[in-house]
Amino acid sequence: MSMETSQQTYTFPKGFWWGSAASATQTEGSVPGDGKGPNIWDYWFEQEPTRFFNGVGPGETSQFYRKYKEDIRLMKEIGHNSFRLSISWSRLLPEGKGAINEEAVAFYNDVINELIANDIEPFVNLYHFDMPMQLQKIGGWVNRQVVDDYVNYATLCFQLFGDRIKKWFTHNEPIVPVEGGYMYSFHYPNEVDFQKAVQAGFHEILSNAKAIQAYKQLKQGGKIGIILNLTPSYPRSQNPQDVEAAEIADAFFNRSFLDPAVKGNFPGKLVTILKKEGFMPHMEEGDLALIKENTIDLLGINYYQPRRVKAKEHMPHPSAPFMPNHYFDSFDMPGRKMNVYRGWEIYEKGIYDILKKIQADYDNIECFISENGMGVEGEERFMDEEGVIHDDYRIEFISEHLKWVHQAIQEGSNVKGYHLWTFMDNWSWTNAYKNRYGFVSVDLQEDGKRTIKKSGHWFQSVSEKNGF
Ligand code: GAL
């Protein structure tokens, strides 16, 4: 299927990274006897299956563990020159530390080699929401011991795979386990405790810096970065109270990780509030210096939706647990364009605004769009007789975002690539298989049969022409 357009308007720089991203827990599944240890998702699903859409857990899902050769062939077919995967910590180290699962080493070696053999550069992320259960039992990210366990795990990964992997990422969206696990109850351990939230976040930041330090010591010659979900904060109006509310939201949700990762320091607005409210994390001597000295080489930006903010209208009950939104309200802008399935606003220009901010305020650090995408429920209704899903809405979504990425490049942004979330339909945490995001559909009724969607064919032509 080719999609000729008469004229190409958007051409990207030579060598632009075209591909997609995925994560271990969402794609691999598990096979009896594979040696994988349980992580928080396996455990939580066992305990409370009803919290997952239609009661579907992470066990079967997309079966990348068995079908990765076929999947990599499909990646090649739809024009990938790069692909991000994550390593499952509890597959490699079933207890989170100690004994290594040799079958996992063989699996990841094989995946990496197969990608390289197909001219697809593997980008490897070390942590994508999947704390080994043994380490969650001692508190997960809230416990400082886990920072050291993580650095040991990261170092093992560098030693095992670093001869071939030249782009590493310490974390994917580190704020999400903080929000899900300790504020809004959509990740295990489902606590509501802002002090723990802050501590978990601080430990993730520390673990990022320590992993960077460990990586640099090995002198493997690659780059190491982090992947952050940046949600540009737009004030309802230019009223100073609205603007201040948006800046506070930005400090909590973007700059909390962006500033330490890129600049090695913390935003003043955030520190002031944490001090005032009595929620500063426990730190040890030398932590701040270590964070200052070990910053990233490369920034991955996940962009899905903006955050619209207005000044606080009603104060929460004085004894309600502290939450960042004690400082702002969200603003449901009338008439905003929505992805109704996911409940997220679609605002394409947001991707440009982020890139401009990175260019202006973060020294134009090398970056790429590491996730962007559209989850849609019930895509089967767009399927033709051959089983191909005609996801024109996804093609439109991607191209409208790419136009803004292109614009930022024209204006000097150092953005190096675009990865869709995601390669194939996968298990999306508590939403399980509700919304589908892939270039490739996966039929759960038919042993995970893969079929390239219209968007996948379209992406092949974009990659081949390096534009559209
Ligand atoms: C991101 C996350 C992915 C995926 C995606 C779509 O926040 O990194 O794992 O779930 O959202 O929901």
For the question of residue 380 being annotated catalytic, the response is no
pLDDT tier at 378, thresholds 50, 70, 90:
very high
pLDDT tier at 6, thresholds 50, 70, 90:
low
Query: Residues 346, 304: contact at Cβ < 8 Å?
Result: no
Taking the centre of ligand 1 as the mean of its atom positions, its distance from the CA of residue 378, in whole angstroms, is 18
Percent of the chain with pLDDT over 90: 95
Residue 404 has pLDDT above 90, yes or no: yes
pTM: 0.97
User: Mutation test of ligand 1: which of 41, 125, 371 has the most ligand atoms closer than 8 Å to its C-beta?
Assistant: 371
Write the residue with the smallest CA distance to atom 12 of ligand 1: 428
For the question of residue 191 being annotated catalytic, the response is no
**pLDDT tens per residue across span 142-182:** 999 999 999 999 999 999 999 999 999 999 999 999 999 99
Of the candidates 148, 29, 35, the one whose C-alpha atom is nearest the C-alpha of residue 93 is 35
**pLDDT tens per residue across span 87-109:** 999 999 999 999 999 999 999 99
**pLDDT tens per residue across span 310-361:** 999 998 898 999 999 999 999 999 999 999 888 999 999 999 999 999 999 9
pLDDT tier at 1, thresholds 50, 70, 90:
very low
Residue 212 has pLDDT above 50, yes or no: yes
**Domains of the chain, residue spans:** 3-465
Q: For the chain, what is the HEC assignment?
A: CCCCCCCCCCECCCCCEEEEECCHHHHCCCCCCCCCCCEHHHHHHHHCHHHCHHHCCCCCCCCHHHHHHHHHHHHHHCCCCEEEEECCHHHHCCCCCCCCCHHHHHHHHHHHHHHHHCCCEEEEECCCCCCEHHHHCCCHHHCCHHHHHHHHHHHHHHHHHCCCCCEEEEEECCHHHHHHHHCCCCCCCCCCCHHHHHHHHHHHHHHHHHHHHHHHHHCCCCEEEEEEECCCEEECCCCHHHHHHHHHHHHHHHHHHHHHHHCCCCCHHHHHHHHHHCCCCCCCCCHHHHHHHCCCCEEEEECCCCEEEECCCCCCCCCCCCCHHHCCEECCCCCCCEECCCCEECCCHHHHHHHHHHHHHCCCCCEEEEECCCCEECHHHHECCCCCECCHHHHHHHHHHHHHHHHHHHCCCCEEEEEEECCECCCCHHHCCCEECCCEEEEHHHCCEEEECHHHHHHHHHHHHCEC
Residue 238 has pLDDT above 90, yes or no: yes
Signed CA dihedral, 47, 52, 54, 57: sign only: negative
Residue 4 has pLDDT above 70, yes or no: no
Cβ of 42 closer than 6 Å to ligand 1, yes or no, is: no
User: Mutation test of ligand 1: which of 342, 429, 433 has the most ligand atoms closer than 8 Å to its C-beta?
Assistant: 429
Cβ of 173 closer than 6 Å to ligand 1, yes or no, is: yes
Residue 16 has pLDDT above 50, yes or no: yes
User: Mutation test of ligand 1: which of 179, 231, 421 has the most ligand atoms closer than 8 Å to its C-beta?
Assistant: 421
Taking the centre of ligand 1 as the mean of its atom positions, its distance from the CA of residue 148, in whole angstroms, is 26
Percent of the chain with pLDDT over 70: 99
Tokens describing residue 67? 């079908």
Query: Residues 390, 380: contact at Cβ < 8 Å?
Result: no
Q: Which of 28, 114, 121, 173 is catalytic?
A: 173
Rounded average pLDDT over 366-390: 97
Tokens describing residue 185? 């109850």
Q: Which fold has domain 3-465?
A: TIM Barrel (3.20.20)
